A and B are shown apart, each in its own frame.
Chain A
Amino acid sequence: MIIAGLSALGAASPPLTRLIAKEKEPSRAAYPGAPGGGPALRAKRWAMVVDAKKCIDDCKDCMAACHYVHNVPAIGNPKHEVKWIWPERFENIFPEESHAHIPDAMGKQLMPVLCNHCDNPPCVRVCPTGATFRREDGIVMMDSHRCIGCKICMAACPFGARSINFMDPRPFIRKLNLDFPTRTKGVVEKCNFCEERLARGLLPACVMACEQKALVFGDVEDPNSKVRQMLEKKFSIRRRPELGTNPQVYYIL
């Protein structure tokens, strides 16, 4: 397990250094605490397109970048695993579309999955404290301050996008990013579409880390956005749309 962790860290280094170098660019103003970065990115409805054909099987750049930026712990034990964006195969992403004769190139390829930031999020409906909520721009947010760790949202999410911290995550974080808090034992966490980066005018970490440009992020309500153009050009599918949650992560296969 340790060896696997080390090799994953080794593989993750180049995108991380690139990402960190990019992060240094926005300069902070003269006095401490002055708002840094560029003007906030705003949208009517944030969405992501995963252009899976561009995705390289063994590449984990997006995951490494996300998990570094958000201080996601690397807990070896899969029962305690915490994940924001992670690789899955076709049969697990689209089980209802899968059959025995899917071309190998597609069936065996790993693709990233993450929170779908549903328009009608079941996790939000069941949360008893309002700790998870849907923002105006469609981002389904976690407010860890209000999370009581009841895990009902985890049961409600059809995509397994939520993880709970069964233990203090700090010892399992390889390299702390001081610009983002960690979580604590007993709170649920998940992808936040990098809302803290959007507020500083930066695109999500996974999108910036992907050299293949397989991840595209933008405003799906804006007809001129890249996301919208891609969706109008190519056929795309979403995970389990029949459940009526209206997911906002689209896959071009």
Chain B
Amino acid sequence: MKLYNRGMIIAGSVIFVVVVTFPFWYGRGRAVPPPAIEIETPAIQKLEEKRCVEDTAFMRDNHMKLLASWREDVVRKNIHTYTAKDGRTFEMALTGTCLRCHENKTRFCDRCHDYAGVKPSCWSCHINPEEIL
């Protein structure tokens, strides 16, 4: 069986494979430093017990699920208070509750989200007071 235009086909195939696998071999062996998130803000330093709504490990893994359930509760079920596992109660509000302590969205939320490559659309409506004041 004769392969017509052999040179072009093989060269094209090689270029295709190189381009498609580029991200894999280009990034190989390189360590991207994990994001340095700033947890200490003036508001957090003032707290007696530095504890988020739930414990840190839970918040790190599940904050997105927690916020999604807050959203459903507040907007659709008219429930505005969240009772944490340890019994404390919080108003379910992103700007009003989360950002009151985590005042540094750009150095807290954004750094990790940029690293993970996620783009939450929260901030197109919810206000980040940092940006305004």
Binding site for B on A (CB under 8 A): 31-36, 40, 133, 135-137, 141, 143-145, 176, 178-179, 181-185, 187, 195, 199
Contact = CB atoms under 8 A, between A and B. Distances in A.
A220 to B, nearest CB: 18
A198 to B, nearest CB: 9
Interface string B76-93: 101011000000111101
B95 A178 contact: yes
Given A178-B95, A178-B129, A179-B96, A35 B75 contact: no
A35 B127 contact: no
B89 A181 contact: no
Given A40-B80, A143-B76, A33 B125 contact: no
Contact of A33 (B53, B121, B127, B129): B53
Interface string B110-132: 00000000000100111101001
Contacts of A136: 78
Contact of A184 (B78, B91, B98, B125): B125
B75 A145 contact: yes
A161 B96 CA distance: 28
B90 A145 contact: no
B105 interface: no
A141 B101 CA distance: 29
A32 B95 contact: no
B76 A34 contact: no
Contacts of A195: 78
A112 to B, nearest CB: 25
Contacts of B132: 176, 178
Contact of B43 (A32, A36, A133): A32
A184 B125 CA distance: 6
Contacts of A34: 89-91
Nearest to B132: A176
Given A143-B75, A143-B76, A178-B95, A31 B125 contact: no
B91 A36 contact: yes
A252 B29 CA distance: 76
Contact of B78 (A31, A135, A176, A178): A135
A58 B129 CA distance: 34
Residue in A33, A143, A145, A199 with the greatest tally of chain B CB atoms within 10 Å? A33
Contacts of B90: 33-35
Interface in B26-81: 43, 47, 53, 71, 75-76, 78, 80-81
A195 B101 CA distance: 25
B43 to A, nearest CB: 7
Contact of B125 (A36, A40, A183): A183
A133 B78 contact: no
Contact of B126 (A40, A141, A181): A181
A141 B75 contact: yes
Contacts of A178: 95, 127, 129, 132
Nearest to A180: B127
A40 B78 CA distance: 10
A165 to B, nearest CB: 10
Given A143-B75, A199-B78, A31 B95 contact: no
